[in-house]
A and B are shown apart, each in its own frame.
Chain A
Amino acid sequence: MSMYELDGKVAIVTGCAREQGIGRATANRLAAEGCKVVLTDVGRRPDLNPDYVVGSLDELDEAAAEVSERGGTATAIVADVTDPASVQNLVDQSVEAFGGVDILVNVAGVGMGAPFLEMPLDVWNHVIAVNTTGPMLCAQAAAKQMVEQGRGGRIVTVASQASKIGGTNRPRPVDAPPATEEELLVGRGGGGGVYAVSKAAAMMLTRMLAFELAPHQVTVNAVCPGFVDTQLLMGGFEMRAEEMGVSMEEWLPNFVKNTIPLGRMQTGDDVADLIAFLCSDQASYMTGQSINTTGGTELHSG
């Protein structure tokens, strides 16, 4: 399904490994539009929380194989978006593999959190590093390449409805005992505002980069998804259902009915539809935007 004739463009998509994720859907979509796609993921669980599941290297290879099987051109490159050297290597290898970089899609993100009063600094730092510093480092390295190429470019960052509205988790009840270290480690303590902070920062990063890169015809936009049916979100939902003492089968349809105006969970493909549009010539006059694709749950523009 090629709508936008992106033939020959080179796209880097970070955070591609998870099977249901936005990254994998985006990689597949851009490949279907004719892009040569570099799929990236970190392949290593964070040191501060070895229980936190990230896309594995096997999953990353599977994702690249999936794109190729569907007739696309793809390669997998492991990169840690929080590490400047690793990010530079990602861009260098992409140029080596496919001859340039035209599109960067920053999808890699983490969803950890903790109640503010007990927020361990290393949780705060890790979330900011992946969700805010990561897009900055990737944009910097990729944009240098785009500016050098002199043919414009596209940067799209996956922010969140949390960029607009703030916390997406419940505060810890006043009468609850303080979160235990174990709860904090797995993000079960309630709260979780650092995610919203990191995504709001990614939104402002998008605006500032849009101004700076506009003279080079590099457009920079963010998409703000709502409740996407990914492993990242479902983990949190399972916790909520468990806290309420009901099964997911019972909890989820109720949640959707009461929360999402358009009445269905979002898919990675819903988000990829918007990302593909922003990467195309159709959106050449849009830059600095943070666009909600939420089924109506979030209405704030900025």
Chain B
Amino acid sequence: MYDLSGKVAIVTGASRPKGIGRATALRLAREGADVVIADYGRPGGFADHPDYEHLGRSDEMDAVVSEIEALGRRSVAIAVDVTQRAEVEAMVATTVAELGRVDILVNNAGVGLGGPLIDYPEESWDRTLAVNAKGPFLCAQAAARVMIEQGDGGRIVTTASQAGKTGFPNLGAYTASKFAVVGMTQVLGLELAPHRINVNCVCPGTVDTDLMAPGIAMMAALHGSDEAKARELMAARIPLGRLETGDDVANLIVWLCSDQGGYLTGQALNVTGGQEMH
């Protein structure tokens, strides 16, 4: 559909089977790009949240790499904690060493740690802001430096959320982190425009991924129903009448990475089935 042949893309948070990142990585490869599958890729949760279970595993990363290679594109798995500058810089350096350059960065890695703010643990706030806001900043900084040196532009797309436009109860830290990346995107869009690096974010709605699982379970409990019924109830709240898929989001991300999105920068585009219009 678009011609991304010869381009090298890094997608963070790229390995969960139902995730936005994997869908995006596969789409970028189908459009011709070589793709780095970056994800947490180490056993256990975070030191401060040892039970957190939605992190990309190394076997999942390898599986996506194989899928991309089967499409005839090059792919490398890189384990990275996006909150650590040294690891992020190593990710970009490895990308350049293995695949030659960096043209596209998709900041997709993110965590969701719910709970009302009044009792919200400080370490959960810090963890959420670190992964969802600082992570995209560190990755953008490292990748943009390479793009500027290459001298022929680039694309940075961050997965924000409809929670980056409107606050959601029980998702205070998540909401704050997503507002933060929308703001960062505006500034980075302006600052990198002279280098022809377009910086945008996408704001998905109710995507049926692992991150949504607690929300669906909560909905089921609230209505005393099973998860299938909870999904139906959630879909009924969405104007277009169905839950979102990773592919719905990937469609927009890939468009922004293509020449077709060349005159957009600094934007936060909703892809929510009509749930969010701001």
Q: Is B266 a contact partner of A211 (Cβ separation < 8 A)?
A: no
Given A214-B274, A301-B270, are A282 and B193 also a contact pair (CB < 8 Å)?
no
The answer to whether A122 has its CB under 8 Å from any CB of chain B is no
Q: Choose, from B13-21, B81-89, B248-256, the stretch at the interface.
A: B248-256
A interface size (C-beta, 8 A): 36
Q: Is B267 a contact partner of A285 (Cβ separation < 8 A)?
A: no
The answer to whether A302 has its CB under 8 Å from any CB of chain B is yes
Which of A262, A277, A285, A288 is within 8 Å of B260, CB to CB? A277
Q: Which residues of chain B are near A292, meaning CB under 8 Å?
A: 264, 267
For A204-238 the 0/1 string (1 means CB < 8 A from B) is 00010011001101010000000000000000000
Which of B165, B239, B241, B263 is within 8 Å of A273, CB to CB? B263
The answer to whether B262 has its CB under 8 Å from any CB of chain A is yes
Q: Is A294 a contact partner of B263 (Cβ separation < 8 A)?
A: yes
Q: Is B264 a contact partner of A286 (Cβ separation < 8 A)?
A: no
Which of B165, B255, B268, B272 is within 8 Å of A277, CB to CB? B255
Q: Is B277 a contact partner of A207 (Cβ separation < 8 A)?
A: yes
Which of B165, B239, B262, B271 is within 8 Å of A214, CB to CB? B239
Which of B248, B264, B271, B274 is within 8 Å of A211, CB to CB? B274
Q: Is A291 a contact partner of B269 (Cβ separation < 8 A)?
A: yes
Chain B CB count within 10 A is highest, among A211, A214, A261, for A261
The answer to whether B169 has its CB under 8 Å from any CB of chain A is no
Cβ < 8 Å to A, chain B residues 15-48: none
Given A266-B263, A270-B263, A295-B263, are A289 and B269 also a contact pair (CB < 8 Å)?
yes
The answer to whether A121 has its CB under 8 Å from any CB of chain B is no
The answer to whether A4 has its CB under 8 Å from any CB of chain B is yes
The answer to whether A274 has its CB under 8 Å from any CB of chain B is yes
**In the complex, what distance in Å separates the CA atom of A18 from the CA atom of B278?**
32
Q: Which residues of chain A are near B252, meaning CB under 8 Å?
A: 282-283, 286
Q: Is A219 a contact partner of B240 (Cβ separation < 8 A)?
A: yes
Q: Is A287 a contact partner of B273 (Cβ separation < 8 A)?
A: yes
The answer to whether B2 has its CB under 8 Å from any CB of chain A is yes
Q: Which residues of chain B are near A284, meaning CB under 8 Å?
A: 240, 248
Q: Which residues of chain A are near B259, meaning CB under 8 Å?
A: 273
Interface set of A (CB-CB < 8 Å, partner B): 3-4, 207, 210-211, 214-215, 217, 219, 261-263, 266, 270, 273-274, 276-277, 282-296, 299, 301-302
User: Can you list 24 residue pairs at the A/B interface with Cβ under 8 Å?
Assistant: A4-B1, A210-B239, A215-B241, A217-B240, A261-B189, A262-B193, A262-B265, A266-B263, A273-B260, A273-B263, A274-B263, A274-B264, A276-B260, A284-B240, A285-B240, A285-B244, A285-B273, A292-B264, A294-B263, A294-B264, A296-B190, A296-B265, A299-B266, A301-B278
Nearest CB in chain B: distance from A253 CB, A: 15
Closest to A213 in B: B239
The answer to whether B186 has its CB under 8 Å from any CB of chain A is yes
The answer to whether B50 has its CB under 8 Å from any CB of chain A is no
Q: Is A3 a contact partner of B2 (Cβ separation < 8 A)?
A: yes
The bracket for how many chain B residues form the interface is 35 or more
Q: Which residues of chain A are near B189, meaning CB under 8 Å?
A: 261, 296, 299
Closest to B274 in A: A287
Nearest CB in chain A: distance from B20 CB, A: 12
Q: Which residues of chain B are near A207, meaning CB under 8 Å?
A: 277
Q: Is A263 a contact partner of B194 (Cβ separation < 8 A)?
A: yes
Nearest CB in chain B: distance from A18 CB, A: 20
The answer to whether B57 has its CB under 8 Å from any CB of chain A is no
Q: Which residues of chain B are near A289, meaning CB under 8 Å?
A: 269-270, 277
Q: Which residues of chain A are near B271, meaning CB under 8 Å?
A: 285-286
**In the complex, what distance in Å separates the CA atom of A275 from the CA atom of B166?**
26
Q: Is B186 a contact partner of A286 (Cβ separation < 8 A)?
A: no
7 tightest CB-CB pairs across the interface, nearest first?
A261-B193, A214-B239, A302-B278, A285-B248, A270-B263, A288-B277, A287-B274
Q: Is A295 a contact partner of B239 (Cβ separation < 8 A)?
A: no
The answer to whether B196 has its CB under 8 Å from any CB of chain A is yes
Nearest CB in chain B: distance from A275 CB, A: 11
**In the complex, what distance in Å separates the CA atom of A296 from the CA atom of B94?**
32
Closest to A203 in B: B277
